[in-house]
Amino acid sequence: MSAMPSVIDRFVDYYTGLDNQPPSALAALYDVNATLRDPFGEHQGLFAIQRYFTHLLTNVESCRFTIDPPLYDDRRFVVTWTMHWSHPRIAAGEILTLPGCSSAEIGGDTIIRQRDYYDAGEMIYEHLPLLGWAVRGVKRRVRS
């Protein structure tokens, strides 16, 4: 197997301390024309990605990731992770966890395309009073 691309180390360093990172640090990870896609939408270009992260972290009290060892080659990598986060208006501010996975394509020494997979319902909707009750009910019915 080839040596691990350095962008993976930078990815791990950035996300393990996400709530202490300035949006400008994303320029060391993502190409100026990079695309980031997650359950909430697609963000095209470094500026859009920086704006999205600024919006996401505005009211978050903490947000850090535990990242499992990556699977990689010289053009792409995949990591599974657990996000540990808290928001004052969700679940009374308690620290919540969310499992997920990121798949990234590398160009040069930056990420040119990233897709994040996680359950948006588990992340937010299940923790909102009325909507949470409905989402949990649907999940129970699907499982039975």
Report pLDDT digits (tens) over 71-111.
999 899 999 999 998 888 777 888 989 899 999 999 999 99
Across residues 22-43, what is the average pLDDT?
95
Q: Are 113 and 45 in contact (CB under 8 A)?
A: no
Q: Is the pLDDT of residue 61 over 70?
A: yes
Q: Using one digit for the tens of pLDDT, what is the confidence trace for 101-131?
A: 999 999 999 999 999 999 876 666 555 555 5
What pLDDT, on the 0 to 100 scale, is given for residue 139? 52
What pLDDT, on the 0 to 100 scale, is given for residue 3? 84
Strand segments (E) across 1-144: 30-38, 41-44, 62-67, 71-72, 76-86, 96-107, 110-118
Report the percentage of the chain scoring pLDDT > 70.
84
Alpha-carbon distances of 16 from 21, 44, 50, 91, 126, rounded to whole Å: 10, 23, 17, 22, 25
Question: Which position has the higher pLDDT, 133 or 7?
Answer: 7
Q: Is the pLDDT of residue 137 over 80?
A: no
The number of residues in the chain equals 144
What pLDDT, on the 0 to 100 scale, is given for residue 67? 97
As to burial, measured by CB atoms within 10 angstroms (0-12 exposed, 13-18 middle, 19+ buried), residue 10 is: middle
**pTM for this prediction:** 0.83
d(CA 119, CA 97): 11
